[in-house]
Amino acid sequence: MLCLGIESSCDETALALVADGCLLDSVLASQTDIHALFGGVVPELASREHCRSIGPLFDELLRRAGILPEQIDVVAAARGPGLLGSLLVGVSFAKTLALTIDAKFIGINHLHAHLLAVGLEHDFSLPAIGLLVSGGHTHLYLIRGTTEFHLLGGTLDDAAGEAFDKVGKMLGLPYPCGRTIDALANAGVADPGLFPRPYLRNDNLDFSFSGLKTAALTALRAFPELEKRNEKPDGHLPAPGPDDAPNALKNFCASFNLAVVDTLCAKTERALAAYPDIHELLLAGGVAANKLLRKRMGELMRRRGGRALSPSPALCTDNAAMIAYTAWLLTGEALCHDLRMETIPKGRSIPDDMQRTGNPRADITKGGPRREPPNLSVE
């Protein structure tokens, strides 16, 4: 079964083809350079860029994969959460295409797709604990099935990625800053006492990262040479590499990185303690590309006799392979949407409104049934 996935929830226009659960090919147009000039994503510009890119990207993907539109069985698009104007570009394109080529249509929860994308590269089993850490979200889930995501905790203010981006901005680093801070942190020496581990003195699974911003502003006063970096407009300074960055900057990044990672690990460990029978941790979202976070989560799970599974870094940030793969999982369970499906912006909950189509897969696959999806039944 051939699934086309479309991702346009924020500032990446991406399309991918997944055939029988395997990634066939993908294309992506990043708007990072455009938004970097403003230090963050400008919604109107993002929608306009998606409109400009999506048609040519679709042509390029099909040409590269040697596929005709009519061979696509399922067209999927991220339906939310995200920027409404951006999401609408991808969803409208997907609905129109599905109608034209007589394919099934399905709208995908962008957050669930981030976590389920682990299945593109690893065999995983459910139930699992999921930690989604991105620019807009920091969510801890109990995942019982492909459509059963129970939110255990989330951020009360800034998301983990947002904390990286805001502190990076203070340091005059180009947006988005997480990757640069990660690289600089790895070349620096962390001072474990420089930053607090916020919002741990409670018994819940929520996060609060906004205090780290204030702590970073205060800490910066002790490093006037770092404070000065912020005087130039954001996005105009090239990202310093580990070889040319001053030690003070590398050490500051290492300390901040450690504080965020410690905090994420502490709450994840707390969630795992509440579900002692769960031995699988799925880690996804842009911040899951962070080297220290991946290492520490791996160690944490090994100590518990389990596994931390994460997509490779390129599949941690926004991509369409995760949308196409999730569509493959869900349509394999005979789920889809009709063309009335609503697009859901950030801040509104995504309704459970998928429809059962009857006989899974055999119904959908134009070329006949092929590889079966993994058995994700709950033990």
Binding residues vs ligand KG4 (CB under 6 A):
10, 134-136, 161, 164-165, 176-179, 182, 285-287, 289-290, 317-318
Which residue, 126 or 264, has its beta carbon nearer to ligand KG4?
A: 264
* Nearest distance from C-beta of residue 132 to ligand KG4, angstroms: 8
* Nearest distance from C-beta of residue 142 to ligand KG4, angstroms: 21
* Nearest distance from C-beta of residue 76 to Zn ion, angstroms: 15
- 37, HSE (Cβ side, Cα atoms, 13 Å): 6
247-274 vs 210-220: helix crossing angle, rounded to 10:
160
* Nearest distance from C-beta of residue 296 to ligand KG4, angstroms: 13
* Nearest distance from C-beta of residue 83 to ligand KG4, angstroms: 10
Q: Which of 298, 302, 304 is nearest to 273 (CA)?
A: 304
Q: Which amino acid is at 350?
A: I
Which residue, 278 or 282, has its beta carbon nearer to Zn ion?
A: 282
Stretch binding Zn ion (CB under 5 A), from 16-24, 55-63, 269-277, 316-324: 316-324
Q: Which of 122, 120, 121, 117 is nearest to 130 (CA)?
A: 117
Q: Which of 284, 188, 285, 169 is nearest to 245 (CA)?
A: 188
Which residue, 72 or 78, has its beta carbon nearer to ligand KG4?
A: 78
Contacts of 18 (CB under 8 A, 6+ apart): 2, 3, 5, 24, 120, 321, 324, 325, 327, 328
Q: Using CB under 5 A, which residues numbered 122 to 161 contact Zn ion?
A: 134
Which residue, 73 or 165, has its beta carbon nearer to ligand KG4?
A: 165
179 binds, among ligand KG4, Zn ion, none (CB under 5 to 8 A by kind): ligand KG4
Which residue, 126 or 253, has its beta carbon nearer to ligand KG4?
A: 253
- Contact pick of 267, 318, 324, 337 for Zn ion (by CB under 5 A): 318
Q: Which amino acid is at 244?
A: D
Which residue, 80 or 373, has its beta carbon nearer to ligand KG4?
A: 80
172 binds, among Zn ion, ligand KG4, none (CB under 5 to 8 A by kind): none
Contacts of 128 (CB under 8 A, 6+ apart): 143, 278, 280, 281, 282
Q: Which of 30, 28, 41, 8 is nearest to 235 (CA)?
A: 41
* CA atoms of 192 and 204, how far apart (whole Å): 24
31 binds Zn ion per the rule CB under 5 A = no
Sheet bearing 128-133, strands edge to edge: 148-154, 138-145, 128-133, 280-284, 307-309
Contact positions vs Zn ion (CB under 5 A): 134, 318
